[in-house]
Structure 1
Amino acid sequence: MNRRTPAATPLALLLALALLGAGCTGGVEGTPGAAGLRDPYFPGLGNGGYDVTHYSLKLDIGPSADDKRRPADGTSSPSAQPSDRPADRLRGTATITARATQDLSAFHLDLAGLDVEGATVEGRPAAVNRAGKELIIRPGSAVEDRLRKGRTFTTVVRYSGSPQTITDPDGSKEGWLRTADGAVALGEPTGSMAWFPGNHHPSDKATYDIEVTVPDPLTAVSNGELISRRTEDGRTTYHWRTAEPMASYLATLAVGRFSTHQSATPDGIRLFTAVDPESEAASEEVLDGIPAVLAWSAEKFGPYPFTSAGAIVERTGDAEYALETQNRPVFPGPPDTALLVHELAHQWFGNSVTPKSWRDMWLNEGFATYTEWLWAADHDDVPVEESFDEAYEDGANWAFPPAGPPSAADISEAPVYGRGAMVVHRLRLAIDDDEAFFDLVRGWTETHRHGNASTDDFTAYVEEETGEDLTELWDDWLYGESRPPVED
């Protein structure tokens, strides 16, 4: 939803890469992993040479260590004490398990801000260089065999500081968003690098263990399932585990005063909701509908792809937008049913079937928007054709093709949502058989369950399954620059 314009490669990074490529003696034979994955909109995002399989994050969060908080201009603010920002500081240890995809002499991690205190690879100290948002890790020769192609290795990074809020090119905020009683971390598309180091591109999914220690009476809520909770000396540690692969932009952490509720759906999906007390009363009825929305969605799209679900509801104004963080979306205030339906649809489209690059964003948002249309048809007597016609008449949906946003600032604009949903509906009309259409959609979510898929993967899949040449549909609705005519 929120995008950052690619920046030029910093001179410091170029110099660091030159040094690493010079073949310093005593290091691992091989080459450095790439500093970016050449994403169409964020070419420096992510890192090459390895694939992360698991993140284990141990985080300690609390107020600023300073006696007084200093505003951006550097002047002191006598009335602003550390307790005003109870989640201002973070101390973390990230243990990253990865598989080398080439012989590595060095590799990169994405991390914005924060101070790195040291790193090890396979338990041995490693050299760490910093160039902008890149950490460059150079292991010693003692672990060279562990960095051969196909081998698994473990990196530990110790870091601390005050996490950053990142401004996207559309002006929205992500990263570490401070709230009245804590903070919430939102990561789409680059914000997760504000609170932990990693390979922050959607194509590299991993499982997670996140242990977060916060001062009482704050609660720490993250993805997956709550494994344990222990309190000692006025601080509580929450251990969250995400057992299914997750892209880092879908990782979240909410720290604050929450009313929490745990239950389960009739088919055994564990539910965990955390709601700011100011939003609790206005959210109750909609959140009680989560089991019904999941059951209805499963009929349309196939089995729910995760073992847990739920929601995090902040108070109004704590964030600017809702985000489909895995297992439990984050809402910036009490959601309505349409928004809940949209974000839960993302658990299939975006979270389980994750885009290979940010150019494939319409696969997330087009299907989630179409799910709203389907819900309105089944529950509110609003035919899908009426929703389609409304989107068709909205000029904002025709600013650019959904599969070709002109810049990083545009990948969460109207065409990606509204025209993306129109692509799905035109496909349904082309198939002209609702049973066959929904079989196709269920097959798509099953084929790419917990994986990544591109627009080309989708169009090829559809044509193979239907046996139809749909070039005209794709040319007009997915890639076309102008509004195509529709039949009366």
Structure 2
Amino acid sequence: MKNSFLVILTLLGIQQINAQFTRRDSLQGGLRIERTSYDVKRYDLNITINPEQKSIKGFNEITFDVVIPTQKIQLDLFENMKVDSIVWNAKKLNYKRDNDAVFIDFPEKLASRSNHKLKFYYSGNPRIAKNAPWDGGFVFSKDKAGKDFIAVAVQGTGASLWYPVKDSQTDEPDNGASIKVAVPNGLMNVSNGRFLGSQDLKNGYTRWDWEVKNPINNYTITVNIADYVHIQDKMPDLDLDYYVLRENEAKAREHFMEVKPMMECFQTKFGRYPFWEDGYKLVETPYLGMEHQSAVAYGNKYKKGYMGFDLSGTGVGMFFDYITIHETGHEWFGNSITSMDIADMWIHEGFTTYSETVFIECIKGYDDAMKYINGQAKNVRNDKPIIGQYGVNNEGSGDMYYKGSLLLNTLRHIIGDDEKWWKMVYDYSETFKKKIITSDTVIDYFNKASGTDLTPVFRQYLYTNQLPIFIYKIKGDYLYYSWDNVNEDFNMPIDIGFEDKKIRLKPTLKEQKIKLKKLSKKSFQIYDNQFYVKIKEDN
């Protein structure tokens, strides 16, 4: 595990199970002794995918250490998939299914610190996505030549949609994984990590073997099946590989030229690519994209922006491919640094959305970066809190993307020292590299690194849907100002400009005033592009 067992117990203790959630939700999102009693060390997946039948058959060999003596553990596999058998020490184990949970009984109690392997054999037709990647499942499609073009995306839905796994973000296989996938001859499967080789099985199928050296999120383990062309490139400290449809090879060679400047930027700001041992891949998929670790799913059809549009509405977002930049940002934020519960998925999405702005600043400069990130504010709904409900597989508001990013931009300007800010971001990435954390971990880190109590700011933006309102009015030479729509302890400053000077105000719920000679609406400005707030003039 990338987390401590004590943290798991803490999360278990604070779970809130609400009547609106089902037993299935709590089984998938919760932590009980059948999950916390063991620590996954490795997955070895060996399957055959039949495109004509849209079926999977094979096994996952799961290596695990016992943390607390137990005779029963929980694994997960969607209930539409068949459990063929579960074998441990050459013995078939008894099990009981409850929704998507599979509770496995051992014939004896497993001792603490003991190491075990079991093989979970299964088969069936996995769920097919209606609109991947927004709903989980497989996509079975064809390329222009009529050959199979197949991929899977399961974030939020659960990796157990297509293979047996401990389907929880609290535990990743410390010793990596192998993914061996047999597909019809003439097709290739591309999965995570390094390619080890292929084997003709002499039955019309070829097996493609991949090996992951690093811990890996369950939902980022993937398969991608097509008649791929392999394009190789390299940076001094990183292998770059692109697997694209044969028909798109020429486009890809030109389009993916932005990968190197992106990697140079991200490695400068966030630290070395965290999975360099496994290399970096972009793999063309029949859906838009997904942050599959070391095998980033790419389906933006070689367009700039997001499917040819600029999500910021400013024009700045049209000089780069949104999917390449955003999904690669997830390698640091989501795949390396992982939230313990999907209620805290802003740790993935807020930081990754911010990485888009970071890339723009690296290439185009600060002004364009601020233009882009503030343009994204129009996408914020403030419908509900960014933080979801713990223990029931529940994400918070989709505002985790843009509002999460705007929160980070706000923190940068609260600190007001770019050298300090970028060091904090770099150190954050390095400190929690390949670890599983919570929102409290993030808040504690930024409090200590900044030397400032930022907790009220985090609480305002993450745990409420109330956008701070800066209220001001001008009377003579006096500027009157206050906060509204905030928690009582909200302590965020805001900067104004007056006569070529930047002045920091510290508003509260109680109105304050400052004297500024010859004050008028034209003589000062509010830096609301640096702080995510609403401005209201009180007449």
What TM-score do you get using the length of structure 2 for normalisation?
Answer: 0.73
- Helix, strand or coil: the match of 1:211? strand
8 A Cα contact 2:341 2:393, kept in partner: no
Equivalence for 2:308: none
Equivalence for 2:196: 227
8 A Cα contact 1:107 1:137, kept in partner: yes
Equivalence for 1:383: 368
Matched, 1:186 2:147: no
Matched, 1:399 2:368: no
Q: Which amino acid aligns with 1:123?
A: A
| Greater CA drift, 395-404 or 148-157 | 395-404
1:172 to 113, 130, 134: 134
- Helix, strand or coil: the match of 1:289? helix
Matched, 1:287 2:301: no
Q: Which amino acid aligns with 2:126?
A: P
Equivalence for 1:257: 227
Equivalence for 1:205: 172
- Helix, strand or coil: the match of 1:165? coil
| Residues 234-271 of structure 1, C-alpha deviations (whole Å, 9 max, x = no match) | 4221111111001101111111222222333221x222
Higher RCO, Cα 8 Å, sep 6+:
1
Shift of 1:279: 4.2
8 A Cα contact 1:120 1:139, kept in partner: no
Shift of 1:37: 5.0
Listed as ranges, the matches of 1:48-87 within 5 Å are 48-63=36-51, 82=52
Equivalence for 1:9: 23
State how far apart, in whole Å, the 2-side matches of 1:276 and 1:131 are. Answer: 41
Equivalence for 1:246: 216
**Higher Rg:** 2
State how far apart, in whole Å, the 2-side matches of 1:137 and 1:236 are. Answer: 32
Matched, 1:115 2:86: no
| Residues 421-451 of structure 1, C-alpha deviations (whole Å, 9 max, x = no match) | 0111111112211111111111111111111
Equivalence for 1:301: 270
Equivalence for 1:23: none
| 1:264 to 1:6, Cα distance in 2 relative to 1, 3 A | farther
- Helix, strand or coil: the match of 2:30? coil
8 A Cα contact 2:271 2:430, kept in partner: yes
8 A Cα contact 1:221 1:254, kept in partner: yes
| 1:292 to 1:387, Cα distance in 2 relative to 1, 3 A | closer
Equivalence for 1:217: 186
| 1:463 to 1:385, Cα distance in 2 relative to 1, 3 A | same
| Greater CA drift, 418-427 or 269-278 | 269-278
Q: Which structure 2 residue ranges, 5 or more long, are not aligned? A: 1-18, 143-147, 305-320, 471-493, 496-525, 527-539
Shift of 1:408: 6.7
Equivalence for 1:18: none
1:237 to 193, 197, 207: 207
Equivalence for 2:462: 478
Q: Which amino acid aligns with 1:57?
A: L
State how far apart, in whole Å, the 2-side matches of 1:274 and 1:38 are. Answer: 37
State how far apart, in whole Å, the 1-side matches of 2:397 and 2:190 are. Answer: 26
Q: Which structure 1 residue ranges, 5 or more long, are not aligned? A: 14-33, 64-81
2:283 to 284, 304, 312: 312
Shift of 1:232: 4.1
Shift of 1:226: 0.6
Equivalence for 1:74: none
- Helix, strand or coil: the match of 2:358? helix
| Residues 296-332 of structure 1, C-alpha deviations (whole Å, 9 max, x = no match) | 1000111110121011112xxx32x421110121122
| 1:108 to 1:410, Cα distance in 2 relative to 1, 3 A | closer
Matched, 1:161 2:112: no
What TM-score do you get using the length of structure 1 for normalisation?
Answer: 0.80
- Helix, strand or coil: the match of 1:47? helix
- Helix, strand or coil: the match of 2:274? coil
Matched, 1:353 2:353: no
8 A Cα contact 2:44 2:177, kept in partner: yes
Shift of 1:94: 0.9
